[in-house]
Amino acid sequence: MKKTILITGANRGIGFALTKLCLSKDLYVEACCRNPDNSHELNNLSNNNPNINITKMDVTSSKSILKASENFKNEIDILVCNAGVNNGKGDIFSDEHNENAIMEVMMVNVGGPFLTIQNLYKNLKKKSTSKIIIISSLMGTQTHLSKNAPIYRASKAAANNLMRTISNHFLNENIIVSSYHPGWVRTDMGGVNADISTEESATGLVNHFLNYNNLILENFLIMMESHFHYRSFFKS
C-alpha cells in the first residue's frame, strides 16, 4: 500500500513543490491550505489524479483542522508542517513589526505546527513508524546572525524547540519528529536571489523524508540542528 503524506501550505512555494514531487513518487498526498478554491495550480494537479486530496485547513484553528481531518482518505505516514509566514523582514524598529504582524507570525509558525500535531495525532499511522516534519529555517538557529526579521527568527527558534519537546513526548511510540531547514529557496519569502529552486529544495527534503527510518531519535535531532545548514544536503 502506498504511503500517505500530508502537507500543510501545499498551495505555493516549497509546499507546492513537495506536493508535485510526492505525486511523481507515487505517494498519496493530502494537500492542505487555507484557500484551496484560489489555488489554481494545486487544483490543476488534482485533475484526473486519484493520488491527491485537496482540503481546506487553517493551521491556526483547531476547529478547522478537525473539520479537515474528516475529509482525509487514509492514515498518515508522514505529516509535514510546512505552512509559514514572514510578514516582517526589517529590523526591530521597522513599521512591519506591529502587534498584528507579530501575532500572525508566531501563531502560524509556532501555533500552526503545535495545533496540527495536536489535532492530527489520531490520524497518524500507529502500526508502523510514522514521521512528523516541521519545516524550519537556518534563521531559527544561533549560528545565523542578523539584525533583520527578528520575529520570524524567533518563531523558527521556537518551532525548533517545539520539535524537541514533542519528540520527547513520542519517545516510546513509533513516531519520529524532526525539523528541516529547506535551504535558501527562491520563493516569495526567500526572494529571487536565493540559492536554490523550490524543486531542488523539495528533492532534498523528500529523499530524506522517505529514506530515514531506523535512526536513534535523539541523535538525529541533534544532527539536524547542528548540520541542517549544509546547503548541499538539499541539492539533487
| Model confidence pLDDT, tens digit, residues 109-150 | 999 999 999 999 999 998 888 999 999 887 666 676 777 778
- What is the rounded average pLDDT of the residues 206-229? 53
Residue in the structure block whose three cell numbers are 522517505: 210
Count of domains forming the chain = 1
Q: What is the pLDDT of residue 87?
A: 83
Can you give the pLDDT at residue 229?
Answer: 34
**What DSSP string runs through 60-110?**
T-HHHHHHHHTT--S-BSEEEE--------S-TT-TT--HHHHHHHHIIII
Q: Helix axis angle, 99-106 relative to 150-169, nearest 10°?
A: 30
- Decide which of 185 and 22 is more confident: 22
pLDDT at 219 over 50: no
User: Mean pLDDT, the chain, as a whole number?
Assistant: 84
CB 20 within 8 Å of CB 45: yes
Tens digit of each residue's pLDDT (9 = 90 or more) over 166-214: 988 998 888 989 888 887 677 676 667 767 888 988 998 998 888 876 4
Domain CATH number, residue 24: 3.40.50.720
Task: Label residue 83 exposed, middle or buried (CB < 10 Å: 0-12, 13-18, 19+).
Answer: buried
pLDDT recorded at residue 91: 83
pLDDT digits (tens, 9 = 90+) for 45-82: 988 899 999 999 999 999 999 999 999 999 999 999 99
Q: Residue 67: what residue type?
A: K
Domain range for 98 is 4-234
* 221 has a pLDDT exceeding 80: no
The answer to whether the CB of 139 falls within 8 A of the CB of 189 is no
For the whole model, what pTM was predicted?
0.88
Q: Copy the grid coordinates of residue 180.
A: 528541516
pLDDT at position 194, please?
67
Torsion over CA of 137, 146, 90 and 87, rounded to 10 degrees? 10
Grid cell locating 22? 510526492
In this predicted model, which residue has the larger pLDDT, 107 or 91? 107
| Residue 223 pLDDT level (bands cut at 50, 70, 90) | very low
